[in-house]
């Protein structure tokens, strides 16, 4: 038939899923074949990803997906597995929330000042950028034994196909790529003694990445050959590709475990002002730059829910919606919230320290988190426009957070702009569409977005006026 099916493996920090996208003359339809938890494990060595259980979830998902024309893999950024000389995985990939990178950046900047590093790579400071992780790992037996480094989606692609490559959009989160040349920054690597030879050659979204191995076909019941296509393997790159925008004047916010808020540009912004504002220049599809800021995102709520014994989320959100706005806010960009554990206490402590009313009940804490996220969304959307010299008249919100209507509504209010919310599974859709494009079924980025705008259910939230209260809350945070 003229309808083709693509399996998108999308691994988020909180769950993994295998989605099937059907693309044909009628349009685009996405269904969930399998969803599984992504539960990091605290071992005596530190916080680790359970990559074997993720791989098992991928195989289960491919089995459930049935006949597909190709497969693509995307996941969260920056983390990697190391392979020894026999090609065997050395230990479990370290989680980006593991404390091993504490204080590492300061040491790196002694050799390579933060200003120079930003001018060369355009990457925001985050303690977990792959560059800092590799410096933290220096001198370990594991790194000494490593002959190959594969970023998480590249590792899974390797296990599925036997082939190796480093996909570019995700490579751009290592802080070892020059966003102007879209190639490795040899100078940065050399000055920090990082061996770029560990990385297999770069590949780009749409490039072939091999065929499912015979053993994988056997285990999943699929009939070969099934090609694997490189997609925007950074989940945020795939999500931004699936923003259903019709024009160019849009900001996006990818909301899930993180909120990634910013603009799509044609060239990086590498100014000192941009560095000070902690904006990143990650690479997107077709020569684009994802100019954005990382905000702690729904992680803050996930961690509170865990601490409260996982109460019903709908009930909590309904209660939070009825509360007065902006009673107290925290800085949702603060890396102090990066580590897991004791989140309700850390949030109430931040409110107390800044002299604001201290939220008590779970609903009050929830409201504080959502107000704080909306405020951080506002700041990022405003700052990005100013720093890039490009203004917008709509904010597209994509990702799991679009299922949280209160968050979308508050974001529209805070930004003073209409919010168009959806799709929730943007990363999977971006993944599917890059595969379809490699197959000749869809056109350029604008064509992909047009197809999404026509086929995906979207919800529009108009701002309810009065950004004054948000400006005042912002000032309150800045003063503390």
Binding site for ligand LRH (CB under 6 A): 12-13, 76-78, 96, 234-236, 257-258, 260, 294
- Cβ distance to ligand ADP smaller for residue 302 or 435: 302
Residue 331 a catalytic site member: no
- Cβ distance to ligand ADP smaller for residue 185 or 302: 302
175 binds, options ligand LRH, ligand ADP, none, Cβ within 5 to 8 A by partner type = none
- Cβ distance to ligand LRH smaller for residue 131 or 260: 260
Least distance CB 400 / ligand ADP (angstroms)? 2
Asked if the bond preceding 40 is cis, omega within 30° of 0, the reply is no
Least distance CB 467 / ligand LRH (angstroms)? 27
Provide the CA 39 distance to its chain's centre, in angstroms.
Answer: 17
96 binds, options ligand ADP, ligand LRH, none, Cβ within 5 to 8 A by partner type = ligand LRH
- Cβ distance to ligand ADP smaller for residue 313 or 323: 313
374 binds, options ligand ADP, ligand LRH, none, Cβ within 5 to 8 A by partner type = none
Least distance CB 74 / ligand ADP (angstroms)? 10
- Cβ distance to ligand ADP smaller for residue 121 or 170: 170
Least distance CB 311 / ligand LRH (angstroms)? 25
Beta-strand relationship, 280-283 and 289-295: antiparallel
- Cβ distance to ligand ADP smaller for residue 172 or 257: 257
- Cβ distance to ligand ADP smaller for residue 274 or 366: 366
- Cβ distance to ligand LRH smaller for residue 13 or 381: 13
Binding-site ranges for ligand ADP (CB under 6 A):
12-15, 256-257, 298, 301-302, 313, 399-401, 403-404
Least distance CB 95 / ligand LRH (angstroms)? 10
129 binds, options ligand LRH, ligand ADP, none, Cβ within 5 to 8 A by partner type = none
404 binds, options ligand ADP, ligand LRH, none, Cβ within 5 to 8 A by partner type = ligand ADP
Q: Which residues pair with 90 in a beta bridge?
A: none
313 binds, options ligand LRH, ligand ADP, none, Cβ within 5 to 8 A by partner type = ligand ADP
Q: Count of CB atoms within 10 A of residue 229's CB?
A: 25
Least distance CB 271 / ligand ADP (angstroms)? 30
Which position among 154, 235, 383, 413 bears the catalytic label?
A: 235
Least distance CB 145 / ligand ADP (angstroms)? 31
Beta-strand relationship, 394-398 and 250-255: parallel
Least distance CB 15 / ligand ADP (angstroms)? 5
133 binds, options ligand ADP, ligand LRH, none, Cβ within 5 to 8 A by partner type = none
**Could you give phi then psi for residue 377, rounded to 5 degrees?**
-60, -45
3-state SS track over the chain: CCCEEEEEEEECCCEEEEEEEEEECCEEEEEEEEEEECCCEEECCEEECCHHHHHHHHHHHHHHHCCCCEEEEEECCCCEEEECCCCCECCCCECCCCHHHCCHHHHHHHHCCHHHHHHHHCCCCCCCCHHHHHHHCCCCHHHHHCCEEEEHHHHHHHHHHCCCCEEHHHHCCCCCEECCCCEECHHHHHHCCCCHHHCCCEECCCCEEEECCHHHHHHHCCCCCCEEECCCCEHHHHHHHCCCCCCCCEEEEEECCCEEEEEEECCCCCCHHHHHCCCEEEECHHHCEEEEEEECCCHHHHHHHHHCCCCCHHHHHHHHHCCCCCCCCCCCCCHHHCCCCCHHHHHHHHHHHCCCCCCCCHHHHHHHHHHHHHHHHHHHHHHHHHHHCCCCCEEEEECHHHHCHHHHHHHHHHHCCCEEECCCCHHHHHHHHHHHHHCCCCCCHHHHHHHHHHHCCCEEECCCCCCHHHHHHHHHHHHC
294 binds, options ligand LRH, ligand ADP, none, Cβ within 5 to 8 A by partner type = ligand LRH
- Positions annotated as catalytic residues are 235
């Amino acid at each position: 038939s003229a309808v083709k099916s693509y399996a998108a493996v999308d691994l988020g920090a909180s769950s993994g899923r295998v989605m099937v996208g059907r693309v044909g003359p009628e349009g685009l339809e996405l269904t969930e074949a399998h969803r599984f938890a992504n539960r990091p494990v605290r071992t005596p060595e530190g916080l680790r990803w359970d990559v074997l259980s993720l791989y098992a979830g991928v195989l289960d998902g491919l089995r459930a997906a049935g006949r597909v024309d190709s497969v693509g893999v995307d996941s969260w950024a920056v983390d990697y597995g190391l392979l020894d000389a026999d090609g065997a995985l050395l230990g479990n990939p370290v989680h980006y929330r593991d404390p091993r990178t504490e204080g590492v950046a300061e040491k790196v900047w002694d050799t390579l000042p933060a200003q120079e590093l930003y001018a060369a790579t355009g990457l925001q400071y985050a303690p977990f950028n792959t560059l800092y992780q590799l410096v933290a790992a220096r001198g370990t037996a594991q790194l000494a034994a490593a002959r190959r480094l594969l970023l998480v989606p590249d590792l899974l692609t390797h296990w599925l196909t036997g082939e190796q490559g480093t996909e570019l959009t995700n490579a751009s989160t290592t802080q070892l790529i020059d966003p102007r040349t879209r190639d490795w920054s040899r100078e940065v690597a050399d000055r920090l003694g990082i061996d770029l030879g560990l990385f297999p050659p770069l590949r780009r979204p749409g490039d072939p990445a091999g065929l499912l191995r015979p053993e994988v076909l056997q285990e999943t019941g699929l009939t070969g050959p099934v090609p694997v296509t490189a997609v925007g393997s950074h989940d945020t790159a795939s999500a931004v590709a699936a923003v259903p925008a019709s024009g160019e004047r849009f900001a996006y916010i990818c909301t899930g475990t993180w909120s990634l808020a910013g603009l799509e540009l044609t060239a990086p912004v590498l100014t000192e002002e941009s560095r000070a504002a902690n904006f990143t220049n990650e690479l997107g599809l077709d020569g684009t730059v994802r100019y954005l800021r990382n905000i702690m995102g729904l992680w803050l709520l996930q961690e509170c829910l865990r601490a409260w014994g996982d109460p019903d989320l709908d009930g909590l959100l309904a209660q939070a919606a009825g509360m007065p706005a902006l009673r107290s806010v925290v800085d949702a960009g603060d890396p102090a919230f990066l580590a897991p554990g004791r989140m309700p206490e850390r949030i109430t402590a931040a409110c107390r320290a800044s002299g604001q009313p201290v939220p008590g009940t779970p609903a009050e804490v929830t409201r504080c988190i959502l107000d704080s996220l909306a405020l951080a969304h506002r700041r990022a959307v405003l700052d990005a426009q100013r720093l890039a010299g490009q203004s917008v008249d709509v904010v597209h919100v994509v990702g799991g957070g679009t299922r949280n209507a209160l968050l979308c509504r508050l974001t529209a209010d805070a930004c003073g702009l209409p919010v168009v919310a959806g799709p929730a599974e943007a990363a999977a859709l971006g993944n599917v569409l890059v595969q379809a494009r490699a197959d000749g079924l869809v056109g350029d980025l604008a064509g992909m977005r047009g197809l999404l705008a026509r086929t995906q259910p979207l919800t529009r939230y108009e701002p309810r006026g009065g950004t004054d209260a948000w400006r005042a809350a912002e000032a309150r945070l800045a003063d503390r």
